[in-house]
Chains A and B, each alone.
Chain A
Amino acid sequence: MDFSPFYLTLRLALFTTGILFLIGIPLAYWLAFSRLRIKYVVEAIVSLPLVLPPTVLGFYLLLFFSPENPMGGFLDRYFDLRLVFTFPGLVLASVIYSLPFMVQPLRSGFTGIPKAWIDTTQTLGKGRWVTLSRVMLPNMKSALLTAGVLSFAHTVGEFGVVLMVGGNIPDETRVIAVAIYNEVEAMNYGQANTYSLILIGFSFLVLLITYWLNRDKSRVLSYD
């Protein structure tokens, strides 16, 4: 049996989640602590992928990054970079698509940090970076875990966007959801079933572990 869609999906989900952490932590931090008045605009933008059908995202990505069009052509000509029908293109699409799943739990995590701690680090002369890395993040493990798992799972379950900008290319963009769709279409129900069962099993295992870990970490953030 061909396991490549699994490896591909795993790679996509890991890459996407990794990049989302790098983008998501600063963004969530800003949303949690900034007092800029335009904040609500940014919040709306970040949450867009939640309400839009994936085909909208797929459509615009296709339009924007097709080598036949200005932006895509530019990237192709000068950087030899294609963002449609390629794995990097999927990573980009996934990062956009799963962004709210990373940012929202992280933001909740940040706002859950007692203000007194932040006051304390300031009076101890510590800057924002130290506060973030040594006080906030270590006490946000539950939020970090939730954000990571949700983003990961959401990426694994991606279908519509991948179908539109992926091109269903084996070992490049044929992720497991698309592979299953393929097999059903080709009437290989046995294969489709095998893939699906493995996916269910894997997903369930991931969630099981996550909730078990989260149970351990559910501390009440008050004193005594």
Chain B
Amino acid sequence: MIELALEKSLFGPEGKMKLAVSCQIGKGELVGIYGPSGAGKSSILRLISGLMKPEGGLLKVDGEVWYSNVETVNLKPTKRNIGMVFQEHSLFPNMSIAENLEFALSKGQPPQIVQDLLERVGLKKLASKKPSVLSGGQKQRVALARAMIRKPKILLLDEPFSALDMKMRAKLQEYLVQFHNEYGLTTLLVSHDASEISRMAQRVLVMENGKFSFDGEPRHFFQS
């Protein structure tokens, strides 16, 4: 499903770091990306989504070339059908949560999808409220729902639940897994929470200094 081999120079607190990663991810996999801060985890997601431009390599998704150095292809993020959830929920404060979801609709999509998704995450009653009155957990639920509106092929999450308390986190992890299964997504979850990855992912990519130092089952890594 996802075939990537990408390079990028990053500038972190430790100075310059060369990110060089390559892997293949199959359709329907839920992969965790784990590693210390500054290892480049978020950058991978930004590279895949197109928000950051690689310096070289290849990115192929479902047979479509999204980035290729050789063929000079670089598909704009707007043209890549992905769902993304950030750590800071980035809901638009000037819109109600229903409007936030409506904003995500593509041309031709029936507006009913908004209501359905709101109901799915249990927030239908708060549809007309602005994000500022919602709790952190509620906001992330909206963000997750919004990422689902366009029925993306890939879901990228960058430490989406780390700002939430245990109970909320568990609830949201549940939603995530449900969405992953229902929509047949290929999901990449960046997290620094080992238990989160162990619980949800069948595979973990561990990043160290811009490279994958481990690629395999979570229990094999986290036991040691």
Contacts from A to B (Cβ < 8 Å)? 114, 116-117, 119-120, 122-127, 134-135, 138-139, 219, 221, 223-224
Check A125 against B49 for contact (C-beta < 8 Å).
no
Q: Among A117, A124, A134, A138, point to the contact of B146 (Cβ < 8 A).
A: A124
CB-based closest 4 A-B pairs? A116-B90, A122-B77, A138-B94, A123-B84
Known A-B contacts A116-B88, A123-B82, A224-B136; the reply to A139 vs B51 at CB < 8 A is no
A51 to chain B minimum Cβ distance, whole angstroms, is 36
Which among A117, A123, A135, A221 is the interface contact of B83 at CB below 8 angstroms? A123
Is A123 a contact of B77 with CB atoms below 8 Å?
A: yes
Q: How many A-B residue pairs have CB under 8 A?
A: 61
28 contacts between A and B (CB under 8 A): A114-B88, A116-B86, A116-B90, A119-B90, A120-B84, A122-B49, A122-B51, A122-B78, A123-B51, A123-B80, A123-B84, A123-B147, A124-B103, A124-B146, A125-B81, A126-B103, A127-B78, A134-B92, A134-B103, A135-B94, A138-B94, A139-B93, A139-B94, A219-B93, A219-B132, A223-B88, A223-B136, A224-B136
User: Which residues of chain B are near A117, meaning CB under 8 Å?
Assistant: 90, 92
| Residue B8 at the chain A interface, CB threshold 8 Å | no
* B79 at interface, CB cutoff 8 A: yes
Check if B89 is an interface residue, CB within 8 A of chain A.
Answer: yes
Q: Is the C-beta of B40 less than 8 angstroms from some C-beta in chain A?
A: no
Are A223 and B89 touching (Cβ within 8 A)? yes
Alpha-carbon distance between A219 and B136 when the two chains are bound, in angstroms: 18
CB neighbours (8 Å) of A224 from chain B are 136
- B50: CB under 8 A from chain A? yes
Q: Is the CB of A119 within 8 A of B89?
A: no
Q: Among A120, A122, A135, which residue has its beta carbon within 8 angstroms of that of B86?
A: A120
Query: Given contacts A134-B103, A223-B139, is CB(A125)–CB(B150) below 8 Å?
Result: yes
In the complex, A221 Cα to B79 Cα: how many Å?
A: 29
Chain B nearest CB: distance from A218 CB in Å?
13
Roughly how many angstroms separate A26 CA and B146 CA in the complex, as a whole number? 29
* B186-212 vs A, Cβ < 8 Å mask (1 yes, 0 no): 000000000000000000000000000
